[in-house]
Amino acid sequence: MIPNNMIWADDNPEMALTKPVRVGNSLTVGGQDVILMTGPCSVESYDQTRTVAQEVARLGGRVLRGGAYKPRTSPYSFQGLGREGLEILRAVADEFDLLVVTEALGVEQLPLVAEYTDIIQIGSRNMQHYPLLWAAGEFDKPVLLKRGFMSTVDEWLKAAEHISSRGNDRIVLCERGIRSFETATRNTLDTNAIALIKQTSPYPILADPSHATGRADLVFAAARAAVAAGADGLLVEFHNNPAEALSDADQALPLAALARFRDEVGKVAQAVGRGIR
């Protein structure tokens, strides 16, 4: 399976297949720098989102993450602020000159979400919802395609082809943990998959250590591992008050930890010859 002339990729820099993807006018994912995309799981209010965005910007971050439409296992959980959430995201991002990544749950929301966001996120549960992939393939915006939590790398790359087959190849993949038999953690971060994507796919690959662990106390370690394995960026949940978060309270890091997080991840990025933004 492994060609004779490619005993190990680290010795073959020309093997680096990643083609950088442009986001907005001033950022590139999949290039020299590891890109941090941080923010709350859900946009809960203007004040909450602005507080987080301000800190993200102050520390040099470039991308704000946050959910306006939330896929929830139970129909009785908080489902997000919807359009109001999108408006809040855009407003605070513009105030602090940040880019936005947020999820579109379905085809019908796509035009609205695309109007407000810089990166269209497709969630793990929707990785094989083909109508959504096809619709996203018609937009001129980068698409962040999360891995289905029980999808193989091969199925994931084929899902990306469903998008690119419609004309949009500005695709960024995101490993967010897979489901295994282990129950001590919410998911299992598949660092092997990150390494494999770097060698077999042109798409940049991010990791989401928040969902991949489901535990705030493991997020630092998972983030470092992902970057060491070759991740081109991280999607991480930070909240100004994790204990009161309306979703994913167990896995959000406190905003006060963001500076230290950037510092620790930055050191690992440097160890593999990269910077962070």
- Which residues from 257-276 bind a second copy, rule CB under 8 A? 257, 260, 264, 267-268, 270-272
CA distances from 134 to 110, 129, 202 (A): 11, 9, 19
Q: How many residues interact with a second copy (rule CB under 8 A)?
A: 91
Footprint of a second copy on 87-126 (CB under 8 A): 105-109, 125-126
CA distances from 216 to 69, 107, 155, 233, 254 (A): 23, 32, 29, 18, 9
Contact 237, 177 (CB under 8 A): no
Q: How far apart are CA 193 and CA 90, in angstroms?
A: 32
The residue type found at 145 is: L
Q: Which of 90, 162, 176, 277 binds a second copy (CB under 8 A)?
A: 162
Q: Which of 40, 67, 230, 233 binds a second copy (CB under 8 A)?
A: 230
Q: Closest Cα partner for 206 from 171, 240, 182, 180?
A: 171
Site membership for a second copy, residue 210 (CB under 8 A): no
Site membership for a second copy, residue 16 (CB under 8 A): no
Rounded least distance, CB 252 to a second copy, Å: 10
Site membership for a second copy, residue 60 (CB under 8 A): no
Q: Which of 16, 22, 60, 180 binds a second copy (CB under 8 A)?
A: 180
Rounded least distance, CB 88 to a second copy, Å: 22
Footprint of a second copy on 136-155 (CB under 8 A): 148-155
Our CB check for a second copy shows the closer of 28 and 164 to be 164
Q: How far apart are CA 29 and CA 86, in angstroms?
A: 22
DSSP 165: T
Rounded least distance, CB 169 to a second copy, Å: 13
Tell me if residue 231 falls in helix, strand or coil: coil
Site membership for a second copy, residue 235 (CB under 8 A): no
Q: How far apart are CA 261 and CA 195, in angstroms?
A: 22
Rounded least distance, CB 95 to a second copy, Å: 28
Site membership for a second copy, residue 131 (CB under 8 A): yes
Q: How far apart are CA 103 and CA 113, in angstroms?
A: 8
Rounded least distance, CB 84 to a second copy, Å: 18
Contact 186, 214 (CB under 8 A): yes
Q: Which of 10, 47, 84, 244 binds a second copy (CB under 8 A)?
A: 10
Q: How far apart are CA 126 and CA 103, in angstroms?
A: 11
Contact pattern for a second copy over residues 190 through 209, marking x by CB under 8 A: xxxxxxx-xx----------
Token look-up 């035009």 returns: 111
Contacts of 228 (CB under 8 A, 6+ apart): 191, 268, 271, 272
Contacts of 207 (CB under 8 A, 6+ apart): 174, 175, 176, 189, 194, 222, 223, 226, 227, 231, 233, 234, 235
Our CB check for a second copy shows the closer of 26 and 181 to be 181
Our CB check for a second copy shows the closer of 116 and 261 to be 261
Site membership for a second copy, residue 32 (CB under 8 A): no
Rounded least distance, CB 117 to a second copy, Å: 18
Site membership for a second copy, residue 48 (CB under 8 A): no
